[in-house]
């Protein structure tokens, strides 16, 4: 992805029209206070029932061997997999380690694959996340960075909010203000419906602390854009 394709200033606007894809300015995923009072198995049963009705309304023959188990599969997928990041019990617990090597340069993990779902149409958003930080005296296991990206991805999302959530979570865990996050994503709500554009990608970025310095920002962007 070229630097000019990355949005460096995130200024989401309200979604006034059904086909627009702006996110709300809030960093938190909109959830009801009672979102997790219902047991997962009960959620699966209810979703299965309603999805079976949706398939019936669409005219599908649910007696067919290929379709009969689909409502249950979809329900389990929603609760246990693609939207599992809604549940705070699944939030990664990241252990920090002392920066024994006194490494004071930028640490970058790039090309983290993520899959999410557009909250406007419930179709996939997928792409790569690139994350960087400067240690404040602590470091984190590299796999935990991936898990943080996956956790916030596995919920209905808009890309702007996802980018900010990853950035703020890394600041909180790493106890540093020096974090950079860039997301480069494909939106199936653009490619498979609506305008039907299969070539465009969307770039978003979150920079804090040292990453607001143009030289450091450029170093990060040059690295993630290199082969």
157 classed as catalytic: no
Q: Is the separation of the CB atoms in 24 and 15 below 8 Å?
A: yes
Among the listed residues 119, 160, 169, 171, the single catalytic one is: 119
* pLDDT for position 34: 95
* pLDDT for position 193: 72
Q: Is the separation of the CB atoms in 56 and 25 below 8 Å?
A: no
* pLDDT for position 179: 98
* pLDDT for position 117: 96
Q: Is 130 annotated as a binding residue?
A: no
* pLDDT for position 104: 94
Is this prediction's pTM over 0.95? Answer: no
118 classed as catalytic: yes
Q: Is 189 annotated as a binding residue?
A: yes
Q: Is 121 annotated as a binding residue?
A: yes
* pLDDT for position 210: 98
93 classed as catalytic: no
* pLDDT for position 21: 46
Among the listed residues 121, 130, 157, 169, the single catalytic one is: 121
Q: Which residues of the chain have pLDDT under 50?
A: 1-25
Domains and CATH numbers, the chain: 3-16+95-225 (3.30.1130.10), 40-86 (1.10.286.10)
* pLDDT for position 18: 46
């Amino acid at each position: 992805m070229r630097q000019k394709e990355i949005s460096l200033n995130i200024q989401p606007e309200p979604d006034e029209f059904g086909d627009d894809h702006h996110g709300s300015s809030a960093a938190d995923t909109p959830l009801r206070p009672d979102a997790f009072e219902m047991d997962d198995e009960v959620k699966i049963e209810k979703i299965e029932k309603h999805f079976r009705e949706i398939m019936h309304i669409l005219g599908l023959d649910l007696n067919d061997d290929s379709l009969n188990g689909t409502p249950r599969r979809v329900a389990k997928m929603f609760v246990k997999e693609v939207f599992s990041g809604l549940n705070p019990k699944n939030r990664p617990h990241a252990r920090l380690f002392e920066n024994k090597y006194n490494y004071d340069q930028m640490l970058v993990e790039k090309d983290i694959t993520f899959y999410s779902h557009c909250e406007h149409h419930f179709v996939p958003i997928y792409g790569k996340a690139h994350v960087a930080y400067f240690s404040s005296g602590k470091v984190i296991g590299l796999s935990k960075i991936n898990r943080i990206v996956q956790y916030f991805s596995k919920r209905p999302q808009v890309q702007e909010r996802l980018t900010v959530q990853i950035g703020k979570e890394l600041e909180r865990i790493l106890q540093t203000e020096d974090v950079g996050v860039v997301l480069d994503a494909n939106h199936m709500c653009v490619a498979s419906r609506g305008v039907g554009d299969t070539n465009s990608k969307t770039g978003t970025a979150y920079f804090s602390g040292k990453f607001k310095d143009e030289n450091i920002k450029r170093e990060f962007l040059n690295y993630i854009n290199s082969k």
